[in-house]
Structure 1
């Protein structure tokens, strides 16, 4: 599923697992894990604090209106 499909399908019925730093949705036998804007920012800030020189986004073409890319860019400070 693309990020847009996820956000339209599940709306705001998600939770964040702080241990794994991932958003997830669960209902019955359906379970979806993904990175939202908060988890993207947290992961980027972690990479930056560790002195890494960049970050990688998987399936960037599926980013809904570039919200994930913008959150990553803000967190990185670009």
Structure 2
């Protein structure tokens, strides 16, 4: 029983530590770039997205944003500045 619980906890820790996706979001109107690990589309018709910019800590809402996945190293360097 003890070993089973340990195995479950270890598996959960591995799953939580992997699978994070990093995004670079650009506002083509202002050329401002934001960084986040999660974003939501407000609705399918308007193209509006919402997310928390991890560099500034602010909630951002954009229309016509360009969203791209980036590597963890690039993300960490960008939010560090």
Does TM-score exceed 0.5, indicating one fold? Answer: no
Bigger Rg over Cα: 2
Q: TM-score, normalised by structure 2?
A: 0.20
Higher helix share: 1
Q: TM-score, normalised by structure 1?
A: 0.21
